[in-house]
Structure formats: C-alpha cells, structure tokens
Structure 1
Amino acid sequence: MTKFYPTKLLVSLLFLLFLREANAQITRDQYIKLESALGETSFFSGHMTGFMLYDLDSQRVLFEKNSQIRFLPASTTKLFTLFSALLILQDSTQTLRYVTDGDTLRIWGSGDPSWKYMEFAQPDFTRFLAPFKAVVFSDANQLTPVFGYGWQWDDYYYDYAAERTSLPIYGNLVQVRKIGSRAQVFPARFQSTVATTSRPIKELERDFHSNTFEYNPTTFLGKEEFIPFLTSPELFTEFASMETGKPWIYRPDPLPLENQSWRGAPLFPLLKEMMLESDNFIAEQLMLMVSDRLFQNLDTERAIEYIQKTYFFDLPDQPNWVDGSGLSRHNLFTPRSMVALFERLYRILPENQLYEILPTGGKSGTLKNSYRAAQPYIFAKTGTMSNNHSLVGLIKTKSGKTYCFAFMNSNYPYTASVVRREMEKVMVMVREML
C-alpha cells in the first residue's frame, strides 16, 4: 500500500489557508464587544440599524447586524452612480451630440454639468462652435423629468435640488450675494425679477411657478449663496447665446440616428466633487450622461435598469435604486449590498484615486468635522436625510489593516449629529481592537 507524504508545497498551501481562515475571524471577546455596542441594550436598539464589517483580504464577513435589512441610503446612493460613471463614461464627460447643416450646427445635450459651473475644466465651446454661424438646440432626447421620482417638492428652492437638464449652464443655479441689505443675483437678467417683501424670511426665495424672487431687507442674511432657477429651453438658449456670442435657436427636433458625439471635459474632477461635497446635481447629470452613452437619450430610469441587470445582478440583495443622488425616499439598499458594491469600487479604482475622492475623517469633504484622529482612519461616503444617516467605506485599524464597512441607520428620533457621535464610538472601538 502506497503511503502519501504531503509535499512541501502542499504543506505551505495548507498553512496559508489556515492563516487566511484564522485572520478572517474575530475573537469571542471582540464579537461580544461589537454585539454589546450594537445590540439590544445599546443606543442603536431604539431605531433600525444595520452594520457589516468585511475583511477585504480574506473576502470574509467579520461581523454583521441586520445587514439583510433595507435602509434609506440617502447620499450613499452616489456610490452606485460613481461605479456607473467609471464603467460607462471612463475618463471624460459626454457633453453633446450634433449634426452639421452647412454653417449651422444642430445639437442635443448629453447631460454634461460642467458649463459655467463652479471651477471645473470647461468644454471649449468657443473652439467647437467657431466654424458655424448659428446653433440649433433641441432637448427632445431628454426623457427624464427635471425632478426625480420621490424627491420632496419643497426642496425646489435649495441648491441641492437643482433641475436636471440635457445641457445645463451655471449649474442651473442663481448666485446670490448680499450687498449691504440688498440681494444681488447672477445671471444679472434675473435682477429685474427680484422684489422686496415684508414677510419674515431670512433668505432670497423663488416663487414655485416662476423665476420671480423676493427677500426682506430687514431680515436678509444672504447665507444661501445659490438657489435653483426654473429652467426652460428658451432661457437656456438666451444664456448660451450670451456666453458664446453665437445665436442659439430652440427647435425640438428628434435626434437623428446618424450623429456625432462630443466629449468635452475631464470626468474625474466631477466625480471628486460629487463624492467629497455630496453634490446632488453632478450625480443626477452623471446618470444622464451614462444613459446618453448607452442609448443616445437621457433616461435615468432605463440607465439604472441596465446597470442593475448587467453589473449588479449578483448583489446579495437587489437594491431599489431610482436616482443618481439619493434625494429620493424610494431608494432602499441593504448594508451587505453596499459592502459588495464598495468592494467592486475598491478593486477597479487605483488606490490613490479612491482615497482622493473619499471624504476623510477630520480632513476632507463631508467628514471634515467628524471622525477626527491624529492619523485618519475613516474614508467613507456619508448619506444624511431626515431621520436617516449612513456611512459606507473603509476603516484603517491599529494593526495597519483596512476593512470595508457599511453602517446604516433609519427611523431615529434624534438629530443626525447624535447618531453620528454614537457611530463614531463604535468605529473607534473597531479601530482599536483589530
């Protein structure tokens, strides 16, 4: 009978497998600590809380609590948008589609939010339009409405709920400045529609149905620097004509099957702003660009359906995903699906780029004033909405290892800052004991 003697290679492999299994576990005491921090006698027992801690090296779950329950993700939805933009748009924006007609250029916007918005690298419209005498603009390719499904109607005058359009300009926002006790606005064409009121309001407010504005000079604070304007193709062509020195004409022609595409600006700065500052407008426009790249029309719903069927069909739990920004209360994701998504981002993005676009505890973005430490240890996307707060990303522990986590909270009766402080206690404990 032949005896089997394991080779040195096999012994080494078995030893490595043992190490992987051992390193993928937490001790009994560590488990008890986490269970106590998140369990029935903890602060988190008073509302819905889901948590998952995941070892990226061993690809194993270290600890989970209610990770199968769906939560309202708020702006952590932007992680899905980030993934979609990276895969479909790659390195540049999808600015517009066009056909030439003699000395006239006919264009259809593709959703690029860059034009005259913040300090992003600009699509070079001057050079692009130079050979043409006139521009005919159409928005017939936009199927998605200006507001998202499940957005709150009374967000319409806050800068985080600017309208979605095929070719925005100025971020679809009016800029407001306080000059003495007076409100000055840009674009200046709106100044004539600004009026004073005796109502006890503290900021410039826009009428729901029109681009008319009012403020009270005695109570005006001027802290709201931007408010959305009511968009229309006629207003857009007026602004576009002014900015380019070319006549723009609105004509809602359908987009021909044969057309050319112009990708006018680098994508990464937009992704970075969306992630660090949680910019809803950029997130929504990114999904329009994704749709244009896929289908040559602007249909966020269809783009999301495609991404889910193509790239997210194997998530632990299928998400209810309806917009790019997370403004909608119809979005519902589980912590374990958030971890699965984030692991994919971790694998496809170069490490330096991933850390550059993630808010860093005590250092940058929406985490600048929380999770402070001499050595940053939290790198994650936040999501906050009334009675909902989530955090999804990476934690670096004292041992030097990096773990992925999702920490989601819903239906709490406190302010978000109260929940955030209690979450921080849990994350500090994880940092110290692993």
Structure 2
Amino acid sequence: MRKTSIVAFLSLLLYTSSFAQLSRDQFSKLESALGETSFFNGHLAGFMLYDLDSQLVLYEKNSHQRFIPASTTKLFTLFSSLVVLGDSTQSIRYVRDGKTIRIWGAGDPSWKYKKFAQPAILKLLEPYDQVIFSDANMMSPAFGYGWQWDDYYYNYSAERTSLPIYGNLVQVKKVGNAPVVFPASFQPNVFPTQRTIRELERDFHSNKFYYNPNNFRAREEFIPFISSPELFMQLASEATGKKWIYQPDSLPSNHELLYGTPLFPILQEMMLESDNFLAEQLMLMVSDRLFQRLDTERAIEYILKTYLYDLPDAPQWVDGSGLSRHDLFTPRTMVALFEKIYRMMPDQQLFELLPTGGKTGTLENSYKAEQPYIFAKTGTMSNNHSLVGLIKGKSGKLYCFAFMNSNYPYKASEVRREMEKVMVMLRDMI
C-alpha cells in the first residue's frame, strides 16, 4: 500500500510539473476545446504543446497515438537533408573515357525543373562526343510503398528517377480549345477524345494523352510522364545536343562527382509548396551521399538508427513526401523531431522554410492575423490533416506544437476551421 502511494504521488508530481506553466483556467479551456465534448472527439485527434525554453510539455492529448502524417513527413526529409547533404546537391557521378563520358545520376531534381539554379551538366559534357548513361545505382522503384495508384496523372505524384529532367513532368498550356505540351516531343502523343474529361489526361500504361475539345480547361498545368531509359535518352539528347546511350553498368569505385546547386532553395520549395517530387529526390540524394546508391529505404533506416534513435515513439517512416498511408508518427515524436530541427538552424533560416499563416506557402490562406503567429508544415490527404511547427503567443514567445487528425469523415476545410479556433485561443493565452 505504501509503495503504491509513493508511485501515485510521484506520478501526480510529474504530471503537475509538466503543466506548471499553464494556469488551471488555461488548462480547462484546452480540455474543453480538445476533449470529450469538442469537435475533435468525433475522430482520432492528437495534440502536444511544448515549451522550447523550459523543455516542458505544457499540454498533450493523445500525443502517444500514431497518425497518418501526410506531408508533415517532409520534416523528416528536411532533417535528413540538413544533417547529410550540407549546403549543395550532387548531380552526377561520372567517369571520363576518351571522347566518351559515362555518367550515373545522383538524384538531383533541379535539371530544367522550376526556376532552380541549373547544375553544370552542359559544361561537363561539352568536351565529349557521346554520353553513356546508367541507372544501375537506382534501387528504389519509381513509386513509393503505399502510394495510391490513381494519383498517377497528378503532378504531385511524379516518378522518382536517378537523374530527373523537367521534374519528370509534361507542361500543359491551352491554345484555342487544344493543349500544347512541353517538351514538344510529347505533342504527337496528344489526341482528342469524346470522353467527358475536362483536363488533359494521360493513359495509365503509356505516354498517350487525351483531351475533350468541348470541355478542355487546362487547369492541371503539369502531368507526370512515364519514365523509361529510352525516353530519358531522347529527352537528354535533345536538351544537351549530345548523343546519349543507355548502358546499365555498375558504378565503379573510382569516379568523379559533379556537385549541383545550392540546397536551400530546394528545401524551401519543398517546405513552402509541399513539393512531393523534391522530397522524394532529396531522400535519394541522402542515400547517394551515404552509400553511392539511390535507396530511400536504406537511407531512412540509417537516419533512424543514427540521428533519430532517441525519438519518443519509433516512427513508421517509408517515404520522403508523405504520400504513403504506411507512414505513422505520434504527435510527441513530431515535436521531438521539430525540436532537433529548431536547435540546428538559425531562427531566420527556419522561418524562411516554414509556411507562415496568412502569408506564405500552404498556409497563405489560413491562420490569417495582423501579426503572423503560426509557422508550420501542413500535411493533408483524404481523411487526414496535420500541422506541426511553431506558434507565437501574445507574449511574443515561441512554442512548438503538433496537431494531428485522422479518420474524420468530413472535408479537411472543416477540420482546419476548428483547428484555427483552438490555435487562436492558444495564441491569446500564452
């Protein structure tokens, strides 16, 4: 009896000290907002508020439960990139052989994608008559484990490759009632159809594209193409003016490395716009830097065993972007991960990476306020929505939080509205 009483007393002491910085009234308000009588009791919801200065948990609700994180998974990719890649990408591993150069891609996503600085591929290839390309160092498949098959023609589901070009996407523009696509070599594969479709749609198994002239809108500006060695040889030859030949030889240990472009703009685009393609290629680059092979699964295993062995709950982490429904993280693990990132980076750099409520990225149209107070990564897929990052209280002090929701039967916009009510209340009380 005495031993039981001591254990109970110590447990109560630990519990009360954890919430020592919230008054009883503040604690009760959070309980009301997130507890049994709240909107969030209708589905699985988890929350943690953490004081970065005192390193105390101020409040938690279901922080030990695992949730599908969606794009908040990109925080794991961000952390991995920061600790492994340094300040630049690596584009190509290569061997010189007379007037021929043999190259292997290293995962760099920037070649002719968006407005990134371009790797010096043309300069590297200039002295050579032909290029022999190998993707034998690519171990990961084009699509990640647990990705949805019917996402194949959306731009957020571009294929993973060792040396992407154009982001592995076809660009679509509307001219009259018809689409014009780029690269132009895809144009002969664009066909009209009487199917009731409103966008240019790609065939599931081939790079054939279809549109209905009566309904075509061109709101989907980019569509993934199916990558293949033959197609890549064609696109790379057109882009460089050199003859490319596919020969899947193993990467020799004695080779040279072409470093690519500054890393920070790629990290910033991944975080602000939640670019899945960049996230996946970043994890391939992490693997390349560690093992000289492109293997996302192996890179994840290494990061978890070395840099993230001390997380509160073992993550189930399978991809770089969060497209997979097999990713499972707890709110308290997300807070622990975010604290690691927070301690690694200058505040100004971190704020440049994080979407800001009412201002930038995926939070541009939500959490609006005269003085921004939410700086966080969003994550959304069907029936799942999460937000992980920093909240600035009326006091001006920053706190870390993770707010995760799964298995709700309504629109994500409704969940976001209710989350915003909680975060406004929290901002005003801390």
Distance 1:160 1:139 in 2: 23
Distance 2:126 2:218 in 1: 39
- How far apart are residue 103 of structure 1 and its match? 1.5
- How far apart are residue 134 of structure 1 and its match? 1.3
Contact 1:24 1:55 in 2 (8 A): no
Identity %: 73
Query: 1:142-194 deviations in whole A, cap 9, x for unaligned?
Result: 00000000000000000000000000000000000111101111111111111
TM value normalised by structure 2:
0.95
Partner of 1:88: 84
Q: Secondary structure at the match of 1:285?
A: helix
Contact 1:81 1:283 in 2 (8 A): yes
Partner of 1:291: 287
Q: Secondary structure at the match of 2:50?
A: strand
Partner of 1:279: 275
Partner of 2:113: 117
- How far apart are residue 33 of structure 1 and its match? 0.4
Distance 2:156 2:104 in 1: 25
Equivalent of residue 366 in structure 2, options 357, 363, 370: 370
Query: 1:373-426 deviations in whole A, cap 9, x for unaligned?
Result: 000000000000000000000000001110000000000011000000000000
Match of 1:93, as an amino acid?
T
Are 2:377 and 1:381 equivalent residues in the alignment?
yes
Partner of 1:3: none
Which runs of structure 1 show a deviation greater than 4 angstroms over 4 or more consecutive aligned residues?
21-24
Partner of 2:49: 53
Equivalent of residue 178 in structure 2, options 172, 178, 182: 182
Match of 2:416, as an amino acid?
R
- How far apart are residue 133 of structure 1 and its match? 1.7
Runs (5+) with no aligned partner, structure 1:
1-20
Q: Secondary structure at the match of 2:41?
A: helix
Equivalent positions of 1:35-50 (< 5 A) are: 35-50=31-46
Are 2:298 and 1:309 equivalent residues in the alignment?
no
Distance 1:50 1:259 in 2: 49
- Report the RMSD for the aligned CA atoms in angstroms: 1.0
Query: 1:309-360 deviations in whole A, cap 9, x for unaligned?
Result: 0011110001000000000000000000000000010000111110001000
Equivalent of residue 408 in structure 1, options 404, 410, 415: 404
Partner of 1:64: 60
- How far apart are residue 131 of structure 1 and its match? 2.1
Are 2:176 and 1:193 equivalent residues in the alignment?
no
Are 2:346 and 1:350 equivalent residues in the alignment?
yes
Partner of 1:243: 239
Are 2:163 and 1:164 equivalent residues in the alignment?
no
- How far apart are residue 51 of structure 1 and its match? 0.1
Contact 1:93 1:267 in 2 (8 A): yes
Contact 2:18 2:58 in 1 (8 A): no
Equivalent positions of 1:97-112 (< 5 A) are: 97-112=93-108
Match of 2:222, as an amino acid?
F
Match of 1:348, as an amino acid?
M
Partner of 1:256: 252
- How far apart are residue 61 of structure 1 and its match? 0.2
Contact 1:122 1:264 in 2 (8 A): yes
Contact 1:52 1:335 in 2 (8 A): yes
Partner of 2:14: none
Contact 2:19 2:59 in 1 (8 A): no
Contact 1:195 1:213 in 2 (8 A): yes
- How far apart are residue 372 of structure 1 and its match? 0.2
- How far apart are residue 130 of structure 1 and its match? 1.8
Partner of 1:428: 424
Equivalent of residue 145 in structure 1, options 141, 148, 152: 141
- How far apart are residue 246 of structure 1 and its match? 1.3
- How far apart are residue 24 of structure 1 and its match? 5.4
Match of 1:272, as an amino acid?
Q
Match of 2:94, as an amino acid?
Y
- How far apart are residue 128 of structure 1 and its match? 1.3
- Comparing 72-81 with 241-250, greater Cα deviation is found at 241-250
Q: Secondary structure at the match of 2:223?
A: strand
Distance 1:372 1:319 in 2: 32
Q: Secondary structure at the match of 2:117?
A: coil
Distance 2:19 2:295 in 1: 45
Contact 1:55 1:403 in 2 (8 A): yes
Q: Secondary structure at the match of 2:112?
A: coil
Runs (5+) with no aligned partner, structure 2:
1-16
Partner of 2:10: none
